[in-house]
A and B are shown apart, each in its own frame.
Chain A
Amino acid sequence: MRSTADMAPPSAAAVDTPNVTDPSLYLEGIPHDRFAQIRATPGLAWHPYEDGGFWAVTRHAEVRHVSRNPELFSSAIGHTNLWDLEADALEARRSLIDTDAPDHTRLRRLVAGAFTPKNIRRWEETVRAITGELLDEFVAQDGGDWVDMVAAPLPIQVILTMLGVPTDDADYLVELSNYLVEGTGDAQSIPPDAFGNTTELRLLPFNSPASHALFEYGEGMRQQRQNDLRDDLVSHLVQAESDVERMSRNEYRNMFHLLVFAGNETTRTAISHGGMALAAFPDEWGRVLADPGLIDSAAEEVLRWATPVMHMRRTATTDTELAGTPIAEGDKVVMWYASANRDEAVFEDPFRFDVSRANSDHFAFGGGGPHLCLGAFLARLEVTVLLEEMAKRSICLEQTSEPVRARSNFVHGVLSVGMRPAGGSN
């Protein structure tokens, strides 16, 4: 364990590590030049943060190593975000994200069945119908805010349908998600007692009173389904929760929170950046229109391009070593997916949006291992169907305003961006 006395940067290279955590940097987009500089520096970079720091893992190969060695790099110690949580807060907030085996395995199996490639395929027609309606409206209105009209409503409506939550509440749940995104940054626009919250913020996911509101909503759903089980994901969780060996009440509430938030915010981000990429690289989209066989690789490229979750943190369980740099037990190790997805050693010309890119080994869903994004196949389905439906309608996009980006070093969120349908068949 690194003692407080050695909290000084453990290596000489650390002095030069450019800052990549200041949330305000991300208002201009991912600071790719800074990540490129860290990637190019041999060994691991020590990045100062609050009273300590973390190892910034920025290259593809090393992110993969950390991600796939959960026994060396724990999700359950400290926190999976950059700052540590006190023990009671960690316990209160513990979800699939911040557990290791065997708790992680137990919780993951409770929901994994709904998200298998085979079971996700059953939602294709639902996704297609929702997508078609949103696109038709977008064209009929001659465009508008791409986030509001397409990127946000598509994933929230799909995940709510799977959960069995009324889609009439989609706007409210997206609003809560927006406050949660704020909570990942350093500037919350709502007071601690918003939504009638009385819980200390440090005990709530993303320190946000919106988490209280989402917990309340999930509890309401639990009570409704308790006496009226249906064929939906909430009913499935409520059944599991009735057996405390399988899931506690606290685990239920955190699982509901995670499914709603991660199930909408991340794919919204992918679709937001996807739209911006199609507008910025019209020739690439033209290639897809000319050859629909490129849709699958284009969808993977959208995911790589977007990197909706920019990092996850692990904590070393033992003294170990990575890239020739010794890591001490208890050190924070942060996997920067946003950087790995632009690693020039793996992706040729990584800053080119290439719809036929052969290498789809991106880390939009994490670097592999047990914490691989639960919703990976759902997100792929949504992005793929969106591209198919746009191609079917020959919709090209023209960006009409600068994006408003989230002030967050964690989620690559876009709050709004104007788009207009251009070209097209009519």
Chain B
Amino acid sequence: MASDDLVRVVVDQELCIGGGICEMLEPEVFKLDDDIVISSVISDGLLPRDRAAVAVDRCPGQAIAIVEGKA
């Protein structure tokens, strides 16, 4: 499977600890709400697989997941 395959990412808001690393990595996809300090997906959530994997790996809350299946 090519690494530029698009996959969909989601944020588990229970787990998010609000550090905003996702937003730094992928500002088009993630946005941290300034008041509740919880991240959410603001786009269709599609990212190339390798970049999605970096976001999953760097998220300290382990709150980001890749949803498998055709987008």
A residues near B, CB below 8 A?
Answer: 68, 101-102, 104-105, 108-110, 112-113, 115-119, 368-372, 374
Main SS class of interface, B: loop
Partner of B23, one of A109, A116, A372: A116
* CB interface residues, B 16-71, toward A, < 8 Å: 16-21, 23-24, 32, 34, 36-38, 60-62
Q: Which A residues are in CB contact (< 8 Å) with B61?
A: 105, 370
CB distance from B61 to the nearest CB of A (A): 6
A369 to B36, CA, bound (A): 20
Interface residues on B, range: 10 to 19
A372 to B23, CA, bound (A): 17
Q: Is the CB of A116 within 8 A of B15?
A: no
- Tell whether A370 pairs with B32 under 8 Å between CB atoms, given A112-B37, A117-B24, A118-B24: no
Q: Which A residues are in CB contact (< 8 Å) with B37?
A: 109-110, 112-113
Q: Is the CB of A109 within 8 A of B18?
A: yes
Q: Which B residues are in CB contact (< 8 Å) with A104?
A: 17
Q: Which A residues are in CB contact (< 8 Å) with B20?
A: 112-113, 116-119
- Tell whether A370 pairs with B17 under 8 Å between CB atoms, given A68-B62, A116-B23, A118-B23: yes
A116 to B22, CA, bound (A): 10
B residues near A, CB below 8 A?
Answer: 14-21, 23-24, 32, 34, 36-38, 60-62
Number of A-B residue pairs having CB atoms within 8 Å of each other in the complex: 54
A426 to B19, CA, bound (A): 43
CB distance from A91 to the nearest CB of B (A): 22
Besides the known contacts A109-B37, A113-B37, A374-B19, 20 further A-B residue pairs in the complex with CB atoms under 8 A apart: A68-B62, A101-B15, A104-B17, A105-B15, A108-B17, A112-B17, A112-B37, A113-B18, A113-B20, A116-B23, A116-B24, A116-B32, A117-B21, A118-B23, A368-B60, A369-B62, A370-B60, A370-B61, A371-B60, A372-B19
Chain B residue at minimal CB-CB distance from A365: B60
Q: Is the CB of B17 within 8 A of A109?
A: yes
Q: Which A residues are in CB contact (< 8 Å) with B62?
A: 68, 369-370
Q: Is the CB of B15 within 8 A of A115?
A: no
Q: Is the CB of A112 within 8 A of B24?
A: no
A68 to B15, CA, bound (A): 13
A72 to B53, CA, bound (A): 23
Q: Is the CB of A113 within 8 A of B17?
A: no
Q: Which B residues are in CB contact (< 8 Å) with A369?
A: 60, 62
CB distance from B31 to the nearest CB of A (A): 10
17 examples of A-B residue contacts, CB within 8 angstroms: A102-B14, A104-B17, A105-B61, A108-B17, A108-B18, A112-B20, A113-B37, A115-B19, A116-B18, A116-B32, A117-B20, A117-B23, A119-B20, A370-B62, A372-B19, A372-B60, A374-B19
